[in-house]
Structure 1
Amino acid sequence: MAEEYGVMARFETAGALVEAVKQMRKAGYRELEPCVPYPVEGLTEAMAFKPRWVPILSLAAAILGAAGVYFMQWYASVLSYPFVVGGKPLHSWPAFLIPAFVFGLLFAVLGAAVAMLFGNRLPRPYHPAFNISEFERATDDGFFLIVSRHDSRYAGGRTVERLRELAAVEVWEVPE
């Protein structure tokens, strides 16, 4: 017998899903995964989502990228090939700022994209929810809530009953 990943419930409407998430969070559940076909207003607040690492990693990548490009220009002009052109100083910082700024922006965008992908655990070609045939509706008209067995409040049958009390149309046990 396959090990259980958790339970999955389907709700009829987005509002019912948001209310179920609020009630489950109020009951102490934290390992919840809502799966919806489009952005649902209020779901982010119901999940108590807090942005964490994307802005910080984006800023760090921007600073490192800009500093790296500035250093490359400084090294090439001052140490590697010092060549005076028209009396201009070797360390001509105003000319170095524009490429450093542009590369800082590039690295910020790349850092944000990489942080977002890792933060969302992507790419993820397989999820245990794919074992349930009804889950195909998650991209069309289904509103699903998955409760992981790793949640501290998870208790198999009791969790299933709780989801049914919260107006779940169907509830399945999800194999690993």
Structure 2
Amino acid sequence: MADRPYGLLAEFDSPEALLAAARKTREAGYRALDAFTPFPVEGLARTLRLPRPKISWVGLFGGLAGGTFALLMQSYISFDFPLNVGGRPVYALSAFAVVTFELTILFSALSMIVVMLWQNGLPRLNFPLFAARRFHLASKDRFFLCVESRDAAFDEQVTASFLKGLGAISVELVPS
């Protein structure tokens, strides 16, 4: 459906008005919601029921993979090219500590960066909301609530009048 819009974008002038509108919109049965604010609004993520990111688990598993890789790599090198220097053991774990630490941090950070970009849908050069006439104010002093058209309860006229009734300054149809 190429003629289907992305959704409706409602503009509010305060974080309290946005939070109240998000609560009422959620209570009215809308589920595909998103909000855009110039600063974090306490309770908004809980109201929109945004999923908790699993990025910390990715960092843990990336770090474990990096540490394991470092230990296995150094153990293989010590086994394949054994050097008996000063009577030290071939597998001196204390000598492996620096490389193991560095690769643990590197793998953890890189895995979290890759998963963060993937979860955010990046790189995305264009987003339908960028075409909205007043959306640039979301980074300055306005607060926006978007009801996406993929929501089962979405109806263009009914949803627009509902958002106006919540005290929205403006309601704009965003083309896809």
TM-score (norm 2): 0.90
For 1:12, the aligned partner's letter is D
User: Which whole-Å deviations, capped at 9, do the CAs of 1:77-115 have from their partners, x for residues lacking one?
Assistant: 11x211211121211122223321232122222222222
**Sequence identity, in percent?**
34
1:32 corresponding residue in structure 2: 33
| 2:155 aligned with 1:142 | no
Superposed, 1:90-129 pairs within 5 Å as 90-129=90-129
Q: Secondary structure at the match of 2:169?
A: strand
CA distance in 1, matches of 2:64, 2:72: 12
Does the 8 A contact of 1:36 with 1:143 survive in 2? yes
The letter of the residue matching 1:88 is R
* Distance in 1 separating the partners of 2:91 and 2:72: 11
Shift of 1:169: 1.1
Write the distance in 1 (CA, Å) between the matches of 2:71 and 2:45. Answer: 40
Q: CA offset at residue 156 of structure 1?
A: 1.8
1:63-78 aligned within 5 A: 63-78=64-79
The answer as to 2:162 corresponding to 1:170 is no
1:56 Cα deviation from its structure 2 partner = 1.5
Q: Measure, in 1, the Cα distance between the counterparts of 2:67 and 2:7.
A: 45
| Residue identity matched to 1:24 | T
Give the aligned length.
Answer: 175
Determine the C-alpha separation between the residues in 1 that align with 2:27 and 2:57: 30
CA distance in 2 between partners of 1:58 and 1:48 (Å): 24
CA contact (8 A) 1:17 1:145 kept: yes
Amino acid across the alignment from 1:130? F
Three-state SS of the structure 1 residue aligned to 2:173 is strand
Contact residue 4 and residue 149 of structure 2 kept, 8 A: no
For 1:9-48, what aligned pairs fall within 5 Å after superposition? 9-48=10-49
Give 1:102's aligned amino acid. Answer: E
Corresponding residue of 2:82: 82
Q: CA deviation at 1:2?
A: 4.0
- Greater Cα shift, 120-129 or 55-64: 120-129
Quote the Cα distance in structure 1 between the aligned partners of 2:31 and 2:109: 31
Q: 2:5 corresponds to which residue?
A: 4
Root-mean-square deviation (Å): 1.7
Q: Deviations over 1:142-172 (max 9, x none)?
A: 2111111111222222211221121111111
Which segment is superposed worse, 144-153 or 107-116?
Answer: 107-116
Q: Deviations over 1:105-155 (max 9, x none)?
A: 222222222222222223332111122221121111121111111112222
Unmatched runs of 5 consecutive residues or more in structure 1 = none
CA shift in 2, pair 1:71/1:8, >3 Å: same
TM-score (norm 1): 0.90
Whether the aligned pair in 2 keeps the contact of 1:58 and 1:115 (CA below 8 Å) is no
CA distance in 2: counterparts of 1:159 and 1:68, whole angstroms: 54
